[in-house]
Amino acid sequence: MSRSESFDPGSGAGAAGPARTAADGDDEVLDALLKNLQGNAPLSPPDAGLARLGVERLRAIQRGADEQAQGLLWSLQSLSRLLAVALEQSASEMSRSDLAMMAWHLSRLARDVERWRDLADNASFYRVQRETAGTVARGWLQRARSSGEWPETL
């Protein structure tokens, strides 16, 4: 979120958390993109689309997802330290809105770390469990064909 965007944790926040922001829309787009790329459909195992990939591609996905999770974890730790320092300052130093935005961002970073770790774990699972990967990939292919997402003939 840029500094020019308005962030009002009070409007519509309630018990569910801060009001929706433009960044929430980005999250929804990213979630939809990842689900489509990974072959997630109702009643599918996690990241079923990964099961169709070979060992080297799964290793690259696992490595990349682990690196993303680590980078986000470092960001989370840095922002957490910054928030702690800000809270030690006098109340006039930072507005409640800025503090709320930092807390919201911490939560978002934590969620993103989990998403990347899940992707790394699932890539690792399918890389190691090749028989299971084959079974899941065949099921994924059948669902993709029946829904018209995969052509019957190539």
Residue 100: which domain range?
51-154
Query: pLDDT tens digits for 61-115?
Result: 999 999 999 999 999 999 999 888 888 876 667 788 888 898 899 999 999 999 8
Query: Does the residue 135 lie in any domain?
Result: yes
Residue 33 lies inside a defined structural domain of this protein: no
Q: Is residue 56 part of a domain?
A: yes
Cα torsion for 75, 76, 78, 79, to the nearest 10°? 110
- Domain assignment present for residue 29? The answer is no
Residue 102 lies in a domain: yes
* Rounded Cα gap, residues 62 and 117, in angstroms: 9
Cα distance between residue 54 and residue 123, in whole Å: 10
Question: Cα–Cα distance between 32 and 35 in angstroms, integer?
Answer: 5
Structure tokens at 38: 């990974």
| Residue 2 in domain | no
Q: What angle do CA 5, 14, 101 make, to 5 degrees?
A: 35
* Domain tally, the chain: 1
In a domain, 20, yes or no: no
User: For 19-75, how does the pLDDT look when each residue is reduced to its tens digit (9 = 90+)?
Assistant: 445 455 666 776 776 777 666 666 677 788 899 999 999 999 999 999 999 999 999
Q: Is 121 within the bounds of a domain? A: yes
Angle made by CA atoms 133, 136, 139, in degrees to the nearest 5 = 150
